Amino acid sequence: MYNPKSSKAQEFINDKEILDTIKYAKENGSNIELIEQILEKAEKMNGITHRESAVLLECSDKNVLEKIYSIAKKIKERIYGKRVVMFAPLYLSNYCVNGCTYCPYHLKNKTIKRKQLSQKDIIKEVTALQDMGHKRLALETGEDPEKCPIDYVLESIKTIYSVHHKNGAIRRVNVNIAATTVENYKKLRDAGIGTYILFQETYHKETYEKVHPTGPKHNYAYHTEAMDRAMEAGIDDVGIGVLFGLYQYRYDFIGLMMHAEHLEAKFGVGPHTISIPRIRPADDIDLNEFPNAIYDELFKKIVALVRISAPYTGIIISTRESQKSREEVLKIGVSQISGASSTSVGGYEQKESEEDNSAQFDVDDKRTLDEIVNWLLKLGYVPSFCTACYRAGRTGDRFMKLAKSGQIVNVCQPNSLMTLKEYLIDYASNDTKQKGETVILNELEEIQREVVKKKAKDYIHQMQEGKRDFRF
């Protein structure tokens, strides 16, 4: 039976409810009267239900589609403004005991080069990332309890935070590791992580078990209930996501929205982030084996509907996506993107050769961080390296209350400008610096509260004199 407050995976991600929702959406996909009511509700920016989202997903009317994009754009601009948060993944190890059919890290793959970073290697990688200008990382590993135990992850986090090179520092480490125990989540919390991220891959249980035929990840319920254990352990910022293309997009989209509703219903806080990756080619992965891969226009529509359904959630798009695709979805929902990413183990300090490949998937957007920052500035966005909310304790329900009330702009707007200023001074090319300085001057004047504007200008002036790491 469907119960969004339940602790059991097959009750809060209920197969019958998803199938009934798909049926309901198909029956009402042309019901313009109902669709207009849903759109009217969406415009209030308080979110819509998974059933309402499914109806909009099913609707093929061009005018409705334009309205969906318009509402998604307005919601993003109201809550996130022009800010786009920047981050990079850091792969610690690609040893893995699972048999995932879509990932080249799977145990039976004998062509990929297996690697694991030592703590000295991590220092080199983090130094290289700091030299680019990164301040926020997403830590990634394969699942191997012997080669990559929780103690190794914790030591690696400590090492990352310890590296201070020139004016660089990684101020927040988000963690994307395999589902684990409440005890281990408490250890991650105490290590000072930002968001705990775990992709469901697919919510369809039969398909989930098929694409995870062996290894601990085969356990659907244990994996699906991981966010509950993380939040019970005191990690109040969690990030969910599916890998579109493993199963039918309608099913996984509805499951994703139900998961967000479950976290809100049970813990009073929805997911801090939702990631929307699509299956990509990789070492021994053939996309022809995945007929459910989604096309660009459908991908864009899904991003817009996630933004409408979960207005206050950060939406993440990685370098799996092309420059063109990223530009499209930034307009209607995406608020976080990776830059200059390496999906290899040890790919920042020195690029891998083809013979030495350890990458998890192919990167489509291969531009440098400076090129991406320049591009964002040119498009009218404010690239942000801010980590202030994590460090000031504005997480979980505290962040959501500020976001839902609109007050978050009072800290996010100046913080994004100050971290952009840091980047411009320390790392940017001349052209990027010129574009960025113009944006900062213009955006400072848009700050509504005079006391905040005055303080931000003072902090930025102090940065010119060599000081760093100011935040509201």
Q: Which residue has the higher pLDDT, 343 or 30?
A: 30
| Nearest in space to 420 (alpha carbons), one of 444, 447, 455 | 444
Instruction: Give the pLDDT score at 350.
Output: 83
pTM (2 d.p.)? 0.94
Could you tell me if 403 and 274 are in contact, meaning their C-beta atoms sit under 8 angstroms apart?
no
Say if residues 214 and 106 touch (Cβ distance below 8 Å).
no
- Is 407 buried (19+), middle (13-18) or exposed (0-12) by CB count in 10 A? exposed
What mean pLDDT is predicted for residues 9-34? 98
Name, in order, each residue with C-beta under 8 angstroms of 133's C-beta and a sequence gap of 6 or more.
168, 369, 370, 373, 385, 423, 426, 427, 428
Tens digit of each residue's pLDDT (9 = 90 or more) over 461-471: 999 999 999 99
Half-sphere exposure of 185 (CA within 13 A, CB side): 23
Per-residue pLDDT, 208: 98
Given a contact cutoff of 8 angstroms between Cβ atoms, the answer to whether 84 and 382 are in contact is yes
Which pLDDT belongs to residue 426? 97
Q: What angle do CA 86, 138, 403 make, to 5 degrees?
A: 55
Which helix (H) or strand (E) segment holds residue 17: the answer is helix 15-28
Report the distance separating Cα 347 and Cα 97, nearest Å.
22
List phi, psi (to 5°) of 317. -125, 130
| Res 457: pLDDT | 95
Q: Are 78 and 132 in contact (CB under 8 A)?
A: no
Q: Tens of pLDDT along 232-279?
A: 999 999 999 999 999 999 999 999 999 999 999 999 999 999 999 988
pLDDT of residue 395: 85
Q: What's the pLDDT score for residue 411?
A: 85
Q: In this structure, are residues 309 and 255 in contact, taking their beta carbons and an 8 Å threshold?
A: no
Residue in this structure with the two tokens 């798009």, named with its chain if needed: 317
- pLDDT greater than 90 at residue 407: no
Mean pLDDT of the chain: 93
Q: Please give the pLDDT value at position 30.
A: 97
Residue 6 has pLDDT above 90, yes or no: yes
User: Domain 82-366, what fold?
Assistant: TIM Barrel (3.20.20)
How far apart CA 48 and CA 357 sit, in angstroms, is 43
Asked whether the predicted pLDDT for residue 361 surpasses 60, the reply is no
Q: What residue type is assigned to position 368 of the chain? A: T
The number of CA neighbours under 13 Å toward the Cβ of 24 is 18
Q: What is the pLDDT of residue 353?
A: 61
Going from N- to C-terminal start, the domains of the chain cover: 9-76, 82-366, 397-464
Per-range mean pLDDT, top range of 74-78, 222-226, 285-289, 354-358: 222-226
Of all residues in the chain, the percent with pLDDT exceeding 90 is 81
Number of Cβ within 10 Å of residue 192's Cβ equals 13
Instruction: Give which of 278, 253, 244 is closest to 53, Cα–Cα.
Output: 253
pLDDT in tens, 44-101: 999 999 999 999 999 999 999 999 999 999 999 998 889 999 999 999 999 999 999 9
> Looking at residue 360, what is its pLDDT?
58
Inform me whether the pLDDT recorded for 417 exceeds 80: yes
For 137-158, write each residue's pLDDT tens digit: 999 999 999 999 999 999 999 9
Q: How far is CA 201 from CA 217, 279, 311, 360, in A?
A: 11, 10, 22, 15
Q: What is the pLDDT of residue 390?
A: 85
Inter-residue contact 423 to 436 (CB < 8 Å): yes
CA 105 to chain centre: 21
Instruction: Name the band, by pLDDT with cuts 50, 70 and 90, for residue 400.
Output: confident
